[in-house]
Amino acid sequence: MKKSPVVGLLALFGLIGTWSCATVHPTPPSFYIGDIPYSVSTQLSLDDRIAAEEAWKDLREGRADDARKIFLRLGQASPLYGVGLGYAQFALGDLEGAAASFKASIERFPDMTPAHIGLAQIFEAQGQKDEAFTQYREVLRSEPGSRWAKPRFEKLRNELVEQAYAEARAAQAAGNRDGQKKALLRVLFYAPESAGAHLELARIYGEERSPANRLVHLKAAYEAKPGDRAVLQAYADELYKSGDFGRSLDLYEKLADLEPQDKDLAARIQDLKNKLGVVELPSQYGLIPAQDAVTREDLAALIAVKFKDFFRVPAQATEILVDISTSWAQKFIVEVASRNVMSVYDNHTFQPSRIINRAEMADTVSRLVAFLEGKGVKFVPVLETRKIQIADVSPDNFYYEPILRVVSLQIMVLSPDRMFAPEKTLTGREAASILDLALVLAK
């Protein structure tokens, strides 16, 4: 049975109608679009914020032309103008235009994270790995926990580090030291914490007799791997060779914790302590500031430790003392007594447990000042001695002259009513403060 022409036309029109009713869904972009930064969003007016959010939705749903129109309408004054156009151009396949827009946005707003995100993807798509790495790093500076950027950054960084290490190995095999250094420095550009690259550069600078550069890289390697034995050893040795005994001692002691049976290391540590005049402080020393009353052994220890730099040259004669063998401060007592900084009794006793008073403290400080003057230290009186009047210490008092001396220097002072209180005892904190003031004047 033949169909009539009318039926055929109706069928055709029906098909056309079916086509005209079909909905064409836009394709979302294949790249990632970062969120509008909160700091940017809050700068926008309500209308602009609504428009920007609509444009951002258009971008993510594949309506790049619609989004582009909104950004053009917002105008160049909008902080989202450049980055928004960049994503629209990116979606439309204009990578050069998109890159230019992203760069313009970053130039105006360096912390515009979505622009860095867009630029990173363009660079990576174009094979510009170094440039992509830089942009991913910028994203992570603003958003350290970015779940999108972090894995991509780490993957790219690992690729670049491995490539740079391969170049370094090839340059080393070819005897190209400059090429090897250049490649290792590239490793550090990508991964500054790479202890291996720092150590290799330190080795090269050692061969080139460049100790300053060697130290820089050994320090960086130590900061990256503070518990690594090889790094500790190399850094400590280099510091020792450079004459930085203080820091080398610290590192050797850390190394000794890892290698407690190393006798050579123990000998090196002891040698350094001797060079530096390091004093091993007994636990009792740390308790002195809390003492209600200071003893002679406490005072001897405070002086020996605080003024150790002035005691480095051995005393010409050692004072014979018969009652200090059981004192925790025996070594310190010998130091100060042999230099006449603290007095010794006629029967060769020191009486380490005897509590001192302010008069005896003044005598000791006066002796200490005389000792330091013998080392070339100049003390300038603050007060003229002839103008000092002490109400409770007469000129015929045994301690009058030393008291007058320390008061003139204002290391120890009188009360407002001109009293010195010679019989009063001192706390540990008071004694330490007096000696600290003397040390400041000595320096």
Tens of pLDDT, residue by residue over 181-214, are 999 999 999 999 899 999 999 999 999 999 999 9
- HEC readout, 183-219: HHHHHHHHCCCCHHHHHHHHHHHHHCCCHHHHHHHHH
| Secondary structure in 3-state letters for 19-63 | HHHCCCCCCCCCCCCCCCCHHHHCCCCHHHHHHHHHHHHHHHCCC
Residue with tokens 């600078």: 205
Distances in Å between the alpha carbon of 308 and those of 249, 276, 277, 332, 342? 18, 10, 7, 10, 15
Give 274's pLDDT tier (boundaries 50, 70, 90). confident
pLDDT at position 13, please? 38
Write out the two tokens for 135. Answer: 């942009």
Q: How far apart are CA 166 and CA 55, in angstroms?
A: 46
What sign for the dihedral angle of Cα 422, 362, 330, 264?
positive
User: Residue 367 CB: number of other CB atoms within 10 A?
Assistant: 19
How sure is the predictor about 272, in pLDDT bands with cuts at 50, 70 and 90?
confident
Distance of CA 434 to the CA centre of its chain: 34
Of all residues in the chain, the percent with pLDDT exceeding 70 is 92
Q: What is the Cα–Cα distance from 235 to 141, expressed in whole angstroms?
A: 31
Confidence check: pLDDT of 283 > 90: no
Q: Which CATH architecture has domain 38-146?
A: Alpha Horseshoe (1.25)
d(CA 185, CA 278): 39
pLDDT (0 to 100) of residue 7: 41
Q: Does residue 1 register a pLDDT over 60?
A: no
What is the three-class DSSP state of 311? coil
CA–CA dist 59, 53 (Å, integer): 10
Cut 0.75: pTM above it: no
Whole-number Å distance between alpha carbons of 422 and 403? 9
Cα 97 to Cα 81: distance, rounded to the nearest angstrom: 14
User: Residue 366, class by beta-carbon neighbours within 10 Å (0-12 exposed, 13-18 middle, 19+ buried)?
Assistant: buried
Q: What pLDDT score was predicted for residue 25?
A: 63
Radius of gyration of the chain (CA): 40
- The pLDDT value recorded for residue 19 is 42
Lowest mean pLDDT across 16-20, 161-165, 231-235? 16-20
Half-sphere exposure of 39 (CA within 13 A, CB side): 8
Is residue 355 classed as helix, strand or coil in its secondary structure?
Answer: strand
Model pLDDT for residues 299-327, shown as the tens digit of each residue = 999 999 999 888 877 666 667 889 999 99
Closest to 405 (Cα-Cα) out of 438, 432, 430, 375: 438
DSSP per-residue letters across 321-381: -SS-TT-TTHHHHHHHHTTTSS---TTS---TTPBPBHHHHHHHHHHHHHHHHHTT-----
pLDDT in tens, 24-44: 567 888 899 989 999 898 989
d(CA 255, CA 261): 11
Tell me the sheet residues that pair with 295.
355
Closest-CA residue to 67 (of 45, 46, 91): 91
The amino acid present at 428, given as its one-letter code, is: G
Amino acid 20: pLDDT:
44
232 burial level (CB within 10 Å; 0-12, 13-18, 19+): buried
d(CA 322, CA 27): 98
Q: What does the longest C-alpha to C-alpha distance in the chain come to?
A: 151
Phi-psi region of 29 (alpha: psi -120 to 50; beta: other; left: phi over 0): beta
* Segment 72-99 mean pLDDT: 94
Asked if residues 256 and 265 have their Cβ atoms less than 8 Å apart, the reply is: yes
Please tell me the class of the 192-276 domain: mainly alpha
Is the pLDDT confidence value at 4 over 80?
no
How high is the pLDDT of residue 312?
A: 74
Residues 6+ apart with CB under 8 A from 366: 401, 402, 405, 406
DSSP state of 316: S
For helices 428-442 and 296-306, give the axis angle rounded to 10 degrees: 30
Q: Judge whether residue 257 has pLDDT over 60.
A: yes
- Give the total residue count for the chain: 443
Residue with tokens 């000791």, as numbered in its chain? 364
Higher pLDDT, 164 or 281: 164
The predicted model gives 318-347 an average pLDDT of: 90
**Mean pLDDT throughout 249-260?**
89
Predicted pLDDT at 5: 44
Average pLDDT over residues 128-152: 94
Residues 148, 28, 65, 21: what is their CA dihedral angle, to the nearest 10 degrees?
-160
Decide if pLDDT at 361 tops 70: yes
pLDDT value for 308: 87
**DSSP three-state, residue 102:** helix
Domain span(s) for CATH 1.25.40.10 in the chain: 38-146, 192-276
Banded model confidence at residue 278, pLDDT cuts 50, 70, 90? low
Residue with the two structure tokens 């020191």: 350
